[in-house]
Amino acid sequence: MDFKKCNRCGCFYISDSNVCSNCQPKDNLEIAKLNNYIEKYGNNNCSLDEISVSTGISVKNLNRYINENGINISL
């Protein structure tokens, strides 16, 4: 297994996941928030900026969740 650099805090770690074990719970929380948002407002007619403001998740992390989790948002 290779060293990976955490997408959230930048530390190095060894794991198959996309962030280190410290940041995994934060990722899970934000992904849950994002899914709630999509459930509530639908995945149309919303920009990443709007979602970011409403959920408090950074645009950078939103992009990552969408890419990593195949979350379908039409922008």
Please enumerate in sequence order all residues whose Cβ is within 8 A of that of 30, keeping only pairs 6 or more positions apart, or say none.
55, 57, 61, 65
- Comparing CB distances to Zn ion, the nearer of 22 and 67 is 22
The nearest distance, CB 24 to Zn ion, in angstroms, is: 8
Q: Give the count of beta carbons closer than 10 Å to the beta carbon of residue 37.
A: 19
3-62 residues near Zn ion, rule: CB under 5 A: 6, 8-9, 20, 22-23
Report the SS3 class of residue 50: helix
Stretch that binds Zn ion, among 2-10, 31-39, 50-58, 61-69 (CB under 5 A): 2-10
Binding residues for Zn ion, rule: CB under 5 A, are 6, 8-9, 20, 22-23
